[in-house]
Structures are given as structure tokens and as C-alpha cells.
Structure 1
Amino acid sequence: MTNNNINNIEDNKSKNITDEIKEANQKIANNAMVIFGGTGDLAYRKLFPALYNLHCLNTLPEDYEIIGVGRRDYSQEEYIKIVQDWMKEFSRLKYTDEKFEEFKSKIRYYKMDMSDSNEYKGLIDFIDSEGIEDGLIYYYAVSPELFDPITEGLKKGNCQKHSCQCENTPLNESCCMGDTKVIIEKPFGENLQAAEKIYSNLKSYFKTENIYHIDHYLGKEMIINIMTLRFANALFKAVWNNEYIEKVEINAYETVGVDSRGGYYDKSGALADMIQNHLFQIMSIVAMEKPKDNNTISIKDSQNEVFKQLKDIDGEKIDEILLMGQYNGYRDEEKVDPNSVTETYVALKLEIENERWKGVPFYLRTGKKLDKRESEVIVSFKSMEEGVAGNNLLIKIQPDEGVKLNFNIKKPGIGNQVIKEVEMDFCQSCILENRANTPEAYERLLKSCMDSDKSLFSQWKQIETSWKYINKIVDSYKKYSNKLYFYDIATNGPVETF
């Protein structure tokens, strides 16, 4: 690479960061965040690095506060040192001692038992002592079984800032509830009933527009780009239907196992942990009709229509559309039942019953302890000529981000009958200037919540509709199948998969 090219890249990099700072500063509608689970992996690996990056972009107010809540007996200094070590490894923007020195002034640690509702009065007293009066976000970075205890504790401790003091029971949104926001992590319950209970409890204390169901996949660059790819390119817009598309595959493969999450995962499984939220959300973006406009309601309504139009389940034929697998050794994992039948691999074949997609199979696959780590969408187009392969569009979500298109050309030479397949490959994450300039998913999502923008968050209607469909699948599986296929670690899953 020449010096001129390097200088151009560095100039572009500086310009991109400058533009990003300007964009990030357009709205600042939040003054503090309380992270329940402030000593967990999610907080250390994702939330604090995201907040550090936002600080580096001058997005956070000077007096912004981040209160990490946990059970560990840390001093303020010990906690900040732990956060600092994680920042050095996981922050997107370059770590510097100077920037962290600024950032650490925003960090507080509060020790409490989150399952004890009597301790929340002390939390609100602590928040008050910090001078935080409004613009507060509570982040539930904990396992789902703690969602309800935290909400009950917040109610009992009157932790809703600026709520009125009337005697209404239940609380009235227009009178009693303040503008405090709450973010909860997926999975939103282990089934529809659990999800409904969690949401009902949240609604009894927070305004519905202030409840944010976060799915970090929706913050990923290429997921957001799917809409642009579909609707801003005549090349794809005209052929995005069953006349030209043969099948769609949405895969999310992992090389890791359950690690320390065995207790949670064994109650959930891959169907609830990945299919019901991540992959269903991706499918709805790939398949939805163009929204009437770009506002949140229109986009979410278009996505939700996809869930409503999923082909009904024929329980007796469940084995034709569902395969459940478990990696060998899963039952030996920490906190996993030694007789567990929880799935760590799922392959699901779905159809959407509308004019655009009728007859096109959608394959959703996910698994742990596989031979590769990648998330992708593959759109396979029909062959236009006998004996010639159809085109494939590959949307790479992670770890690499980009788009690859395979197409056919005549092989160079005197003859004109030989056709060969070639490809165009746009690798977004390979571009040097983009590596540090592409916001992480949590960074983008936290900023959106601060700005009261729900377009990148799951909506309750979507969660409810998708859970109803998943419940039918689970009920049919338990009644008519219960087959579980075992697979070796570092393979591509059960040999029987489709």
C-alpha cells in the first residue's frame, strides 16, 4: 500500500469519526443508567465498552452516571479497576488512560441483593444522593428469573423518578408513571405465559413506550442494512418473491458451548434462546413488505405481519419441519441436568402464506459447539437455464460483515457454450477505515434508547405473536416426536439435519 493510500485512509478515518461525533451529539435525552447485573459478563464485555465508546464520542453528558449493581463486595476503586481491564480488551474505539480517567468519574458501584425487595429503598436513596432527578434508565442485565423480583423491588422502593404520589392502584400511565425507562434482555421469558407475566408486571410500573426489549442482533450493521439492500436496489427489489427465489436460509452457528450459563440454558434451549427472537427477527426483516414509511410503528407492523402469515403447524408432520439436536458432553456441563433433553441445535423449516412467499421454504438453523462461528442469510435464486446454477446472495452478519453475490458468465475462450460461476464480494469489516468506525450493536442500541427511538427494539406484539407460533411447535414436538439427535463437538451438527 502506498503512502498516499495510507494517508487517504487516515484522512477518511478521521472524517468518519468526526461525522460520527456530530451525529451522536444530535440528541442527548438521558442522564443516568442503573445496570442490574453490573458484575456480569454482559456488563463487562458489552455495556461498559459501549458506554465508554459513547463517552469518547462526546455523547454522554458531562455529569452522566453509570451505577453498576451487584452482589459482590467491591469497593468503588476495585470495581473501577475491573471495568478498566475489560475496557482495554473490548472497547471499539482506542483505549487511552486519558479518556478512561474521564469515563471513570461517571461510574458508581452499589452492592445489594437484587432478589430482596427490601433493599431497593436503599438504592433509590443512593440515586437521590447522587443528584439524579430524571432521564434514568434501568437495565436488566440479568437472567430472566430476576426480572420480576427487580420490578417488584423497584415498585416497593418507589424507584420511578418523578412518579406522582397519588393512591391509584394500579398505577395510571397518564398520572402516576414518570419517564424512567427500562431495558430487558432476551429471552423475554421461557414461553408465552412467562413472557406475558414479565410484560404485565413491567406495564404496571413503567409506561409501555418506556419498556425496551433489547435484541442485540437488531443492532448489528448488516441486519440494519438488509432493508436498504432490499428496498434501495432495483436489482433485488424486483426479484424478491417466489417467482425468482427458491429458498432462504438463516443460520447462526457458534463454536462455544453453554459455559457458565448451564442453569439458565437448560431451562431455555436453542429454540427459545435463538430461534424465537434472533432468527425470527431476521426472518421478518428479510420477508416483510415495504413499510408505509420509516417510522417505528410502520416497520414493526410490517414485521409482525410476517409472523401472522406463517404457515400453520401440522403436528403429526412435525418431524418434516423440525429437528432438535444436542452436542455430546452437554449433560456434563456445569448446572445441567445429567438426563437433560434440552436442545443445543435446531433446524426449522417454515413457510409464509402470502402472495410474495407462498411455496418458498425458509430454513432457520442454530447450534452450539459447532465447527464454525458465523451468522448469515443465504437467498438462493432459481436457475434461469437448465443445467446452470441459480444465483446466490449471501448476507454475512458475523464475524465478518458484508454481501456476496454469485452469478454466471461465459468462460473466457473461443467457445461460447461454457458457463462459469463468479462472485462479487463486498466485505464491510475488511475495509481498514471501517474497522474502528462501525458502532457495536449495544453502542447503537443504548444510544437509540437514550433518544427514545424504538425502531431497533423488539415490540411486544412481535414477541407475543412469535411465542404463540413457537408454542405450537413445542406442543407438537412433545406430542408427536420428542426425537433428539446427538452430534459430536466441532462438526456441523447432527448428520440428519436439513
Structure 2
Amino acid sequence: MTTSPAPQRPPATIVFIFGGSGDLNFRKLTPALYNLFLDGYLPEQFDVVGIGRSDYNDDTFRERLAEGIDEFSRRKNGPENAWATFSPHVGYLRMDGGDAAAYHLIADRVKAREAEWGAPANIIFYMSVAPQLVPGIATNLSQLSFCGDKNRVRIVVEKPFGHDLQSARELNALLLSHFAEEQIYRIDHYLGKETVQNLLALRFANTLFEPIWNHNYVEYVQLTAAETVGLEGRGGYYEGSGALRDMIQNHLLQLLCMVAMEPPTSFEADEIRNKKVDVLRAMRRVAPDQVDTIAVRGQYGTGEKAGKPSPAYRQEEGVNPESMTETFAAVTFFCDNWRWEGTPFYVRTGKHLAAKSSVITVQFRPAPHYAFPNEASKTWQHNCLIISIQPDMNIRLRFQAKRPGQTLALDPVEMEFNYDTSFKEQQPEAYETLLLDVMAGDATLFMRADQVDEAWQIVMPILDHWAAQTDPAAMPIYAPGSWGPDEASKLTERDGFSWMNG
């Protein structure tokens, strides 16, 4: 019987969360830190400090976060007295991140804790704030003398990282003027999911797939991130973003990199990230007059949800009645290198679609049929590798098998690996994995400045082309509960394929 290795704890750590009184900390960050504490991954000496303008003190802040644990943590209250042991490590600083004079409160907190612990601490600053506040906070932090310590101090920046290529470059330039690249952790929670990380194990720990993982055997790859929900009160944010920026530019392009990357020589952070950048640099750039042949967008219209009327996107609160912001986007990408030359990567995402599903489908080229009688191939389907990220977490391999009986009839069948049935351990939430990596100084799952830049370069021609189209009547509309606008089918049909919706 095998056992899991004992947790390796990081050194003494102080986590400062700007926007600590906000929703992300309430729902995700503190529940993740609490779970890491229960599993023995946090250091014995740690501090979690929320920073915000809300009227909390240490006690009322802890009470508020305890409500978030009860509602959102996968472990809820945990063992008896666990919260009572964890909560004294949680505190609150009421301050305005834009007030440079207030930052002595952070320095005082660090000095007090290091004196109490008798040792220097790793210091993490998590930017759980609106994107426009990040530059000011980073500038103010840089005035603290200890922030120049590349080995101990890290800054975590949430997406969106820029609104376009120019703003992303400006943000990178500002951050890099105050911090070293190895101090900056650009977080994408998608990459912390167990099934996403398992892509590396699937590809590089098994000799089964690598010989056929190329354009000679792979016909196409599809990546889908579909949501059944609409805006859920986020109209103001989404109106300035859209599906291409919100999902494809970051989440789905990063998944594509993990599917398409070359085998690394090691699992060091920069080696993995170098391989991802190689993929992005090999991605075919599209000319403005070609955008309509490789990209489709759409908006959800009126319909029903759970038997009740559902408003169209343009009727949602905070949305322009003539909005040209897409709630659905589909793009065909090509990676122009020796491994993937000519293989299409079909990527799509959208809101109010038929099912909640994040899936990667690798379809292999067909085997020759001529050895079999015609009736044997009537139900023939291509071999597929289907990697489900959420809500199901499994990997399925589809192949042909002979149907029982006296005739040679073939049916597609599947072999399945399922996380829930194969492993008894609880799967950590994405933020647990990512926060622990920040504490350990492991940047493998975080984007580097050049990755961000390349990803924006890839999508900018599409965004610019769409921005030039201002006629609201020209926006394709799709029904809630469908798989998007009819135009999306043309992306795959022109190559003789179709979207995988099952």
C-alpha cells in the first residue's frame, strides 16, 4: 500500500491580501488557505492579513471569513477547534491602497511578526483588487525597503492582465520597474485545476501517446469552455471584456500550450514556460481581412432558463442596449511548427450554452476501412482522446471494438479514467495549489511577461477587426441553451468536421 509523501512546508510566511474584504478572498483565497492549513501545508509561523477600506477589525474580519469557510470551503469547519487554531493567524489592516503614507502599517506588521518569530519571513502581496488599482499599489509597495528582496517577496496579480496588448505591456513595464520577474506571479486559476496539471503527466509520463502526438496522426484538437450561466450581476465588468478577452486570451490559450508544447528537458518552472512560449510564438498570426474566416462571435438573445424568461445580453443590467460585446467566441488557431503543421485547433467559449463543460478533444486520423466489409464500418467513429476538466474530471479514450455476434460489426467504445473513482484523496481546489506554489516560489503554473505579450499579439487582430464593426444588427444572436450561433458550425464544417458536444 502506497502513502502520500509528507507535506513539505514553506518557511515562515506573511500573506497580505489587498481587497481582503472582497468577494474573491471570501469565496476562494481564505478557504484555500484554511484547507492548506488543515492538510499541514502551511508553515507553523504564518500570518494572513486582509487589507481594505471596509470597517472591520481583527475579530469582525475573522467572523466574516468564517462565514465564507462554512459556505465555500470543501472542508467546511474541518476537525473540531480547527478554526479556533487557524483564526488567530488572521488579521485586518484598514487602509487605502492608494495612500502611500499608510504603507508603514505593512512594514510595522512585518517587523512585529519577524521579531516575534525570530526569523525573516517570506512576504506575499496578493492583488485581489480592480485592475486599475494594481499599478498604484505596486508603486507604493516598492517604497518598502524589503520589497527589493527577490528571494523573500512576491506579488500576485489576478487577471485580466491588461485590456489589450498595449495596456498589458504598460502594466508589465511598470511591475518590472519595481519588482524582478521572479517576484511577479500572474495567476490564472484554470491552471491550478488537477485535470489541467494532469495534462503534463498524461503527455510526458506515458510512452503511449507521444509517438502519435503530431499532425501525422492527429486530425484536429478542440478546446471548449462552456457555461450555462449568464452575467450573474457582472454586466459592468463583462461589457468591457467579452468572451475572447475573458476566456480565450488567457485560460484557453494556456491550455492549448499544454496540449501542443514540446517535451521539456525538466520540470523546472522556466523550462516549462519556455516550451509554452515556443507554442505561442509558432501560432499563426491572422491578417485583418482573414479574421471572418477563422473567428466567429455572438451574443445570447432572449429565452428561458429553468422555465423562467431569460433576458438577452443587451437587456442585462450594466450592458449597453446596442452592445457589440461578444458572449460567445470561437476561433481556429494553427501552430506552424514541425509537430502541428496544418492541424487546426478549434477553440470556443460562451455563456448561456447548453451545458457547463470544459473539455479538450484530440481526434485522430481515421484508420483505413478497406480491410473490413461495408456493414462493419457503418457505426465507425474516429479514435478520440477526450479530457474533461470540469465539471466531470476524467480522461476517455474512444476506439473501435467488435460487437458480440456471428457477424463482423464494429461499435465505438470507451475506456475511462475518472478522478473520483480512481483516487480516494480529496482533490484540492485550484487556488490551494496556486497559493502553495507562490509560497514555495514555484512559478511553473504562472504566466511570464513574454507569455502574456505573445498571447495578446495572437488575439489582437481579431479584437481590432471586431471593434471596427459597429452595426448592432450584424451581431449573430444565439438562443440560451444552444451551443452558440449557427455561424460557429462553419468554422469546423469547412474542414469537414463538427463540434464535439457530447
TM-score (norm 2): 0.87
2:16 to 16, 30, 34: 34
1:181-196 superposed matches below 5 A: 181-196=154-169
8 A contact 1:30–1:137 mirrored in 2 = no
8 A contact 1:161–1:178 mirrored in 2: no
Question: 1:272 offset after TM fit, Å?
Answer: 1.2
Q: Tell me if structure 2 keeps the 8 A contact 1:67–1:107.
A: yes
Q: Deviations over 1:341-387 (max 9, x none)?
A: 11111101111111211111101111112222111100111110344
- Supply the AA of the counterpart residue of 1:42: L
* Percent of pairs with identical residues: 38
Say if 2:258 is the partner of 1:285: yes
Q: What secondary structure, in the 3-state scheme, does the structure 2 residue paired with 1:456 have?
A: coil
CA contact (8 A) 2:291 2:461 kept: no
Shift of 1:472: 2.1
SS in structure 2 at match of 1:272: helix
Structure 1 83/431 Cα, relative in aligned 2: closer, same or farther at 3 Å?
farther
- Summarize the Cα distance change of 1:432–1:307 in structure 2 as closer, same or farther, 3 Å threshold: closer
Query: Corresponding residue for 2:52?
Result: 70
Of 16, 27, 32, which aligns to 1:45? Answer: 27
Q: Deviations over 1:227-271 (max 9, x none)?
A: 221222222111111111111000111122222332222212111
Q: Deviations over 1:278-328 (max 9, x none)?
A: 000000110111112222222111111111111221321211111111223
Q: Which moved more, 1:212-221 or 1:331-340?
A: 331-340
Counterparts in 2 of 1:79-478, with a 5 A limit? 79-93=61-75, 95-96=77-78, 97-131=80-114, 134-155=121-142, 158-161=143-146, 163=148, 179-328=152-301, 329-386=312-369, 387=377, 388-416=380-408, 418-431=409-422, 433-434=424-425, 436=426, 438-478=427-467
Question: 1:195, CA displacement in angstroms?
Answer: 1.1
Helix, strand or coil: the match of 1:62?
coil
- Measure the CA separation in 2 of the matches of 1:367 and 1:456: 24
Letter in 2 for 1:489: P
Q: CA deviation at 1:154?
A: 2.0
Q: 1:153 to 1:260 in 2, by over 3 A?
A: farther
Q: Secondary structure at the match of 2:186?
A: strand
Q: Tell me by how many angstroms 1:480 deviates.
A: 7.4
Residue 364 of structure 1 aligns to a residue in which SS? strand
CA contact (8 A) 2:324 2:470 kept: no
Note if contact 1:30-1:451 (Cα within 8 Å) is conserved in structure 2: no
| Cα deviation, residue 409, structure 1 | 1.0
Residue 430 of structure 1, CA deviation: 4.2
Unmatched runs of 5 consecutive residues or more in structure 2: 302-311, 370-376, 490-502
Aligned to 1:497: 488
Decide whether aligned partners of structure 1 residues 225 and 481 sit closer, same or farther in structure 2, where only a CA change above 3 A counts: farther
Would you say 1:488 and 2:449 are equivalent positions?
Answer: no
Please state how far the C-alpha of 1:177 moved relative to its aligned partner: 6.3
Query: Could you say if the C-alpha distance between residues 79 and 332 of structure 1 is closer, same or farther in structure 2, counting changes exceeding 3 Å?
Result: farther
* 1:256–1:368 Cα contact (<8 Å) kept: yes
* TM-score, with structure 1 as normaliser: 0.88
Contact 1:31 1:65 in 2 (8 A): yes
**Cα drift, residue 124 of structure 1:** 3.3
Counterparts of 2:158 and 2:323, CA distance in 1? 25
SS in 2 for 1:234: coil
Q: Deviations over 1:141-164 (max 9, x none)?
A: 122111112112323xx335265x
RMSD: 2.2
Hey, what's the Cα distance between the residues in 2 that align with 1:341 and 1:29? 49
Which consecutive residues of structure 1, in runs of 5 or more, have no partner in the other structure?
1-11, 164-175
Give the whole-Å Cα distance in 2 for the aligned partners of 1:216 and 1:30: 24
- Confirm or deny: 8 A CA contact 2:12 2:45 kept in the other structure: no
The number of residues matched between the two structures is: 463
1:110 offset after TM fit, Å?
1.6
Q: Distance in 2 between matches of 1:481 and 1:383?
A: 43
Q: CA separation in 2, counterparts of 1:183 and 1:472? A: 29
Letter in 1 for 2:19: G
Q: Within 2, Cα distance between the matches of 1:194 and 1:312?
A: 20
Counterpart residue type for residue 484 of structure 1: M
Structure 1 moving runs of 4+ over 6 Å = none
Q: Pick closer, same or farther for the CA change 1:314–1:206 going to 2, 3 Å.
A: closer
Q: Give the counterpart letter for 2:125 in structure 1.
A: Y
Cα contact 1:318–1:481 (8 A) shared by 2: no
Cα distance change on mapping 1:62 and 1:230 into 2, 3 Å: closer
Residue 351 of structure 2 aligns with an amino acid whose one-letter code is K
Question: Partner of 2:178: helix, strand, or coil?
Answer: coil
Q: Distance in 2 between matches of 1:484 and 1:162?
A: 48
